[in-house]
Structure 1
Amino acid sequence: MHKVLEALTALAFALRTSVGYLLGGGYGLPPGHAVAVGTQPSLEEMTPQECWAKLSAGGVGRVVFSTETGPGAVPVNFTVQNDTVVYRTAPDSVLADVAGQKVAFEVDRVDDALTQGWSVLVTGTAKQIPAGETLRNPGEQADPHPWPTGRRDVWMRVTSSGITGRALREAGNRRRCSTLSRWECGIDRASPGCGARRIRRQL
């Protein structure tokens, strides 16, 4: 148990967060409760290519539309096909009713551990995909696989007229840690005190 705690402490140090957070202390709360430690992250504009790259894997985003009482936003599972956003919805849903309307589609990612993240906004027109139309990549890759139960066989696409995005990143140049191939722990990999190296020794 002592070794496990040492490993968690080293991981928390490398990620600049707390052991409590790693153990799920923030579960169920909106993201953004962490406080930046050290260098304050900088806000940078992303290129359209970077924005589409962020969305390319699909996931969950929000369709933003106008209603009689003001703006509305509904989360949906989505995929990206040929620089268009694709989602499925129910025939009698508000997301099917927006066909032909100008909408926005927003996706974001917040990393509390690193106090970093990004946000992408697609603007365009929502259109219903005619039954039987073949998408560019039919099959599993094209299907957004909605999480909610129920009939959701109306396929919709948001044809983009513009895409913008911003990323909150650590200021300054960082070297990728050779020990953690997917993480940039912010500590010089040549440093004997690298938290990632301690993690590898302890696990």
Structure 2
Amino acid sequence: MPSTHPQPSGEKTAGRTDLGRRMAARREALGLSREELGRRCGADGTYIAYLEEHAASPAIGTLARVADALGLTVDDLTGASAHRVAGRSTARRDSALVPLDETECRRLLSTHGVGRIATFTPEGPAVLPVNYLIAGPDIAFRTSAEAVTARAAGTEVAFEIDNIDDVTATGWSVLAVGELAAVTDPDEMHHLNTAARSQPWAGGARSHWMKVAPARITGRRVVHDP
């Protein structure tokens, strides 16, 4: 799971609902105070504190504004999508799949987050989620020295990220293909450790940095005609 942020002084945790916990966790991950979040969604810090700390039932319009300010959907904010695979909504008739140029693909990659590494193992193909960051032209992530991805050093792998919006039936995906290598240069490892804002979600000892040097990057987006 993500690294634990220290609880800001004066902010309570007792009595939080799932909505309140999600709001607080996302807000803190973005480095926002309650007042800053309130300004983004047209409320004040006191109301944000109330939503985070009490069993509140805000109107759907309020939820939508808070979710948008946090870069989430309402389902993400309320937890309705937590146990559901994205992409179950019905496709629209005016949908079209358009390619993304490399500049846009790299922009989407630079948002950081969770991606998937696809590699071959002695047991067959494997696709594994990793928390990643962009280091210059490379895609870097941490793992353990005994992990499948660590053992795949020196081989060609694929790295993929995507975003699916069930409400609008839209989405995009980016695929990078290149050689996977272990990071061994001390200065490079120091830079990566400094740039990493949180621990890998999987937890445990994951101090072994790996990087993918993309030889090609492609992407696609589902759009709707006007």
Q: Report the equivalent of 2:88.
A: 33
Aligned runs of 1:1-203 on 2, under 5 Å?
Answer: 4=59, 7=61, 24-36=79-91, 40-134=94-188, 138=192, 140-142=194-196, 145-172=199-226
Higher-Rg structure is 1
Counterpart code for 1:116: T
Q: Is the 8 A contact 1:61 1:76 kept in 2?
A: yes
Q: Report the equivalent of 2:45.
A: none
Summarize the Cα distance change of 1:139–1:92 in structure 2 as closer, same or farther, 3 Å threshold.
Answer: closer
Partners of 1:141 and 1:73 in 2: how far apart? 25
Counterpart code for 2:82: Y
Summarize the Cα distance change of 1:151–1:26 in structure 2 as closer, same or farther, 3 Å threshold.
Answer: closer
Summarize the Cα distance change of 1:144–1:131 in structure 2 as closer, same or farther, 3 Å threshold.
Answer: farther
Taking structure 1 as the reference length, the TM-score comes to 0.69
| Secondary structure in 2 matching 1:49 | helix
Summarize the Cα distance change of 1:144–1:165 in structure 2 as closer, same or farther, 3 Å threshold.
Answer: farther
Q: Report the equivalent of 2:21.
A: none
Summarize the Cα distance change of 1:50–1:144 in structure 2 as closer, same or farther, 3 Å threshold.
Answer: farther
1:30-67: CA deviations, max 9, x gaps? 00111245x62211000011101001021000110012
Partners of 2:147 and 2:82 in 1: how far apart? 30
Return 5+ residue gaps in structure 2 as ranges: 1-55, 66-73
1:162-187: CA deviations, max 9, x gaps? 00000112223xxxxxxxxxxxxxxx
Cα RMSD after superposing both structures = 3.0
Deviation at 1:115, TM superposition (A): 0.8
Summarize the Cα distance change of 1:36–1:23 in structure 2 as closer, same or farther, 3 Å threshold.
Answer: farther
Summarize the Cα distance change of 1:96–1:23 in structure 2 as closer, same or farther, 3 Å threshold.
Answer: closer
Greater length-normalized contact order (CA 8 Å, ≥ 6 residues apart): 1
Taking structure 2 as the reference length, the TM-score comes to 0.63
Residues matched between the structures, number = 163
Partners of 2:172 and 2:205 in 1: how far apart? 32
Deviation at 1:99, TM superposition (A): 0.7
Q: Mean alpha-carbon deviation: is it higher for 126-135 or for 100-109?
A: 126-135
Partners of 1:60 and 1:153 in 2: how far apart? 17
Counterpart code for 2:114: V
Counterpart code for 2:83: G
